[in-house]
Amino acid sequence: MLIYLAKRLFMTVLVIAVTSVIAFLLVHLSGDPAAAMAGEGATQADIEAVRVTYGFDRPIYAQYLDWAGRVLGGDLGRSTYLRADVTDVLATHIPVTATLGACALLFALGLSIPLGVFAALRPNTIIDRLSLWVAVAGQALPSFLFALGLIYLFGLYLRWLPISGSDSWLNYLMPSVALGYYATPAIMRLTRSGMLDVLQSDHVRTARAYGLSPWRVVIRHGLRHAVVPVVSLAAVQLGFMLGGSIVIETIFSLKGIGHLAWESIQRADIEVIQAILLVIATAYAVLTLLADLLNAALDPRIRIS
């Protein structure tokens, strides 16, 4: 297990390092950072001054090493637009996105695990087919349309929920549903197949033969085993959600890092953009690492091969 842990840890660090190189190159090579920083209407002399001041005239690898060194020391740079340290800016935005991600995941699990269990208890019935079909059909619905539909119904027509801002917990309801919905088909399918397997196993049959109540058998002896792979899938899905939060946060003006990323892209605030790319990629890498470790801890075959 220790060797496996060390290997996976090393790979995760390597992935984050390569990702950071790509993020840095993307931001620095796809435009002229000095021109972007100097802003519109800057003269050539202004741009050259910015280029020298911020060191954009140095070779790209030197700039990257410099940036990476500062990041490792906890300094993510400065936002030219907000005139603040990127670390401070992120500190105020990350809790919003983290809350959104957690609520979205809770919604997804709360919807898909009961549906998956039910589908497994009554396989190939209308309800089994219908729940799968609705989930699959929903995948054709882009998240921004789904979000606009929610806004129209609950925000504008029924006037039950606020349509923008991040002041109260009510602001998180629609965005969480809009974001979490897309994780449901995968989780539902995995719960269903896991439950189908475990319900046919010997220990469930024994538990039933003992005369335990059906619900007790399903929850204690069935779901407890079937839910394990679901937990690691949920971690990966949470990582995807962080990436998808940009669309949802922008629609609902939820001031998380997705919204911040969109605003920073419009302002060409490159230090913020590359920091957000790094943060989201790192979060995803760490979440998949946790999912893998969980799987390995529970299934010895994985860590040996």
Partner 1 sequence: MLITPQNPASVSVSPARVALGRALRHGGFWIGGVIIVAIILVAILAPLLTPHDPSVQDLSLRYVPPVWNEKGSWLHPFGTDNLGRDYLARLMYGARISLGIGVLTVLISGTIGTAMGITAGYWGGWPDMIINFFITVRLTLPVVLVALVAVALIGSSLWLLILVIGLLLWDRFAIVVRSATQQLAQREYITAARAIGSSTPRILFREILPNITGPLVVVASIEIAHAILLEAALSFLGLGVQPPDVSWGLMVAEAKSQLLFRPWMIAIPGTALVLLVFAINLVGDALRDVTTPEGKA
Q: Which residues bind partner 1 (CB under 8 A)?
A: 11, 14-16, 18-19, 22-23, 26-27, 30-31, 36, 136-137, 139-145, 148, 151-152, 156, 242-244, 246-247, 250, 258, 261-262, 265-266, 268, 273, 276-277, 280-281, 284-285, 288
Nearer to partner 1, 138 or 214 (CB): 138
Look at residues 237, 241, 234 and name the one whose alpha carbon lies nearest to residue 258.
241
Q: Are 124 and 224 in contact (CB under 8 A)?
A: no
Nearer to partner 1, 214 or 243 (CB): 243
Task: Give me the half-sphere count of Cα atoms (radius 13 Å) on the Cβ side of residue 226.
Answer: 30
Q: Are 105 and 180 in contact (CB under 8 A)?
A: yes
Look at residues 258, 253, 257 and name the one whose alpha carbon lies nearest to residue 164.
253
Min dist. Cβ of residue 206 to partner 1 (A) = 31
Min dist. Cβ of residue 286 to partner 1 (A) = 10
Min dist. Cβ of residue 47 to partner 1 (A) = 15
Min dist. Cβ of residue 297 to partner 1 (A) = 20
Nearer to partner 1, 86 or 218 (CB): 86
Look at residues 143, 142, 101, 148 and name the one whose alpha carbon lies nearest to residue 258.
101
CB burial of residue 29 (10 Å; 0-12, 13-18, 19+): exposed
Instruction: Name the 3-class secondary structure at 65.
Output: helix
Min dist. Cβ of residue 282 to partner 1 (A) = 8
Nearer to partner 1, 5 or 163 (CB): 163
Nearer to partner 1, 222 or 256 (CB): 256
